[in-house]
Amino acid sequence: MISAKPENIAIVVLSRSGMATAEKIKQLSSGEIHGFAKRIDQSDQPFDNVGEHLRRLFEEGQTIIAIMASGAIIRSLAPLLNDKMAEPPVVAVSEDGMSIVPLLGGHHGANQIGRFLAENLGGIAAITTSGDVHFGVALDEPPTGYVLANPGNAKLVMAELLKGETAQLNGHADWLKASRLPFADDGAVHLTVSDETKQPLANELLYHPKTLALGLGCERGTPAKEVIDLAEQVLSNAGLAAQSIGAIVSIDLKADEVALHAAGAHFDVPVRFYSAERLEQEADRLATPSDVVFAEVGCHGVAEGAALAATGADGALIIAKQKSKRATAAIARASAPIELTETGRPRGHLSVVGIGPGSEVWRSPEVSQLIGMASDLVGYSLYLDLLEGLTKGKQRHDFDLGREEDRVRHAMELAGEGRNVALVCSGDAGIYAMATLVFELLENGQLSDAANRISIQVSPGISALQAAAARAGAPLGHDFCTISLSDLLTPWEMIKTRVGAAAEGDFVIAFYNPVSKRRRTQLAHAKQVLLEYRPKDTPVILATNLGREGENVRIIPLVDLEIDEVDMLTVVIVGSSDSRVTRTGDGKSWMYTPRGYAAKEGTKIKGADL
């Protein structure tokens, strides 16, 4: 597997012939495709200058998987190479995926990525670092589940082994035993595997296996510092290494407890949760069962029970429940590094994302990242179809138009199961879209307990009014408002009041949902009201299918606005009495609303005022 986070993986491709391999790598890694704009029409992150883009990614510490010639990568990055300990992984891949060459950061993940890609693409990884070649193992890059406590000693130890010295193995690790390292009971160098803290010798490498499950419980609202201090104290008193913590675990009623997630961030480990029913299965193995706890949450122990649940049937409780004023902690040890896929469930996450009008170039990088990280996508079928390649390998949950509440509830309940869910909206998720319904359902208490404890992120998108304004010029340059003419959720009398107020206030107005097959009179009413307050030649933008095939943007006088020219895919922007139309030399008309700079400074506009 690739250990880097998906948002930190850049798959750089320069030609259409390499896109098939780029797409395969994207599916394997959930990284983003960075495409050379001169040759590739669509990618997650287009760029214009190859060298500059590679150097920027490298300086940002991104993992780079580049489908291009090794020499070109080397020449681009050469000026930045001065500290091999800080280099991010850089891997070159041939266009057909058959040749994979870790170029930089071999022991920071590049070799691991090379092997993983070779295995999954059917290619060959050209590993050149000496430890890998001679012994079949990178001592300074242990596999998932192990942490090297003293990487500074790795160079010396490896040099001794390459000179012919033998190694003494203290503890157990299958990956070391399976290597070609020369082991001897009296080896000159020491390879130690232990979850205990110790000061390594100069000729010793100390590996901490992630075999410890730190069970935590606390009262609602307990300060994060109290929980973290308790955990640190328990580890210190027992002489256990924090780097051996494989997971922080607790009961699912605490899935939204800030202090527990703060502890996870402090120790840089995942946080997982179990139901009371699962924790009660560990009742016979608890050191300090409590009837009081059972009465409150339905199991006889949270910290101890969760730690035991995380370490499995072969695990053992090594630190019984310890208490602070408002928190508890316990530690269990597993017989092997803890597998997170088998350990509880994470706190579910819901990303409410706006994909803009639908065109990939108008979708924000953050939205693409959140969609890429999601396990499940929920949305109106058309919106999910617009995502094209981003849906590959993900569970789609398609809904018909009009089932908004069902759609949102389904997304939140999925997240309640511990999944990472993206609720996909067109335009901006918070403008006439699903974000508001998410919080309405939370406030009204119409969800399961698990769904009420999910984490939520709302990510903005380009709204229809922004897209229409940009295509037609700058009509929103001064005060404006938006009004939906749909009376499905808002009484028509209220809509009429708002239209009248906006007309009288001389706002630029963006009308959403202007007409439908059933509604044909609302826009006509708005036109009539507006003509009472502003000139007949007030410019109006009619923008249809923005950012998609069949896009059509027109500017017409208000008096000429015909209802039959508008449909549900059209955004109508009516200018204020100050809005005007100008033309460029190519004959194109542009609409704008003056901000008032010229009036402020006469005819001279100062750059500082802008």
pTM tops 0.75: yes
Q: Domain limits of the chain? A: 6-128, 146-209, 212-342, 350-462, 465-597
Bigger pLDDT: 186 vs 108: 186
Mean pLDDT of the chain: 90
The pLDDT tens digits for 447-484 are 999 999 999 999 999 999 999 999 999 999 999 999 99
Crossing angle for the helix pair 404-416 and 435-444, to the nearest 10 degrees: 70
**Homologous superfamily of domain range 350-462:** Tetrapyrrole methylase, N-terminal domain (3.40.1010.10)
Token pair for residue 105? 């950061």
pLDDT tops 70 at residue 32: yes
Bigger pLDDT: 506 vs 102: 506
pLDDT tops 80 at residue 28: yes
Do 212-342 and 350-462 come out as alike in CATH topology? no
CATH 3.40.50.11220 is the classification of domain 6-128: yes
Model pLDDT, residue 606:
44
> What is the domain class of 465-597 according to CATH?
alpha beta
Q: Give residue 601's pLDDT band: very low, low, confident or very high (50, 70, 90).
A: low
- Which helix H or strand E contains 484, and what residues bound it? strand 480-484
pLDDT tops 50 at residue 24: yes
Token pair for residue 260? 């527990």
CATH of the structural domain 212-342, one choice from 3.40.50.300, 3.40.50.1370, 2.40.50.100, 3.30.420.180: 3.30.420.180
pLDDT tops 80 at residue 69: yes
Instruction: Please enumerate in sequence order all residues whose Cβ is within 8 A of that of 121, keeping only pairs 6 or more positions apart, or say none.
Output: 21, 24, 25, 93, 97, 98, 100
Q: Give residue 60's pLDDT band: very low, low, confident or very high (50, 70, 90).
A: confident
Alpha carbon distance, N-terminus to C-terminus of the chain: 50
Distances from the Cα of 135 to the Cα of 140, 166, 186, 193, 500, angstroms: 13, 12, 19, 18, 80
Model pLDDT, residue 141:
80
Side by side, the strands of the sheet bearing 9-13 are 45-47, 32-36, 9-13, 63-67, 90-93, 99-104, 124-125
Instruction: Report the length, in residues, of the chain.
Output: 610
Model pLDDT, residue 597:
60
Instruction: Please enumerate in sequence order all residues whose Cβ is within 8 A of that of 318, keeping only pairs 6 or more positions apart, or say none.
Output: 238, 331, 332, 333
The pLDDT tens digits for 187-220 are 999 999 999 999 999 999 999 999 999 999 999 9
pLDDT tops 50 at residue 564: yes
The pLDDT tens digits for 127-170 are 766 555 567 677 888 888 999 999 888 888 888 888 889 999 99
User: Rounded CA gap, 416 and 443, in Å?
Assistant: 16
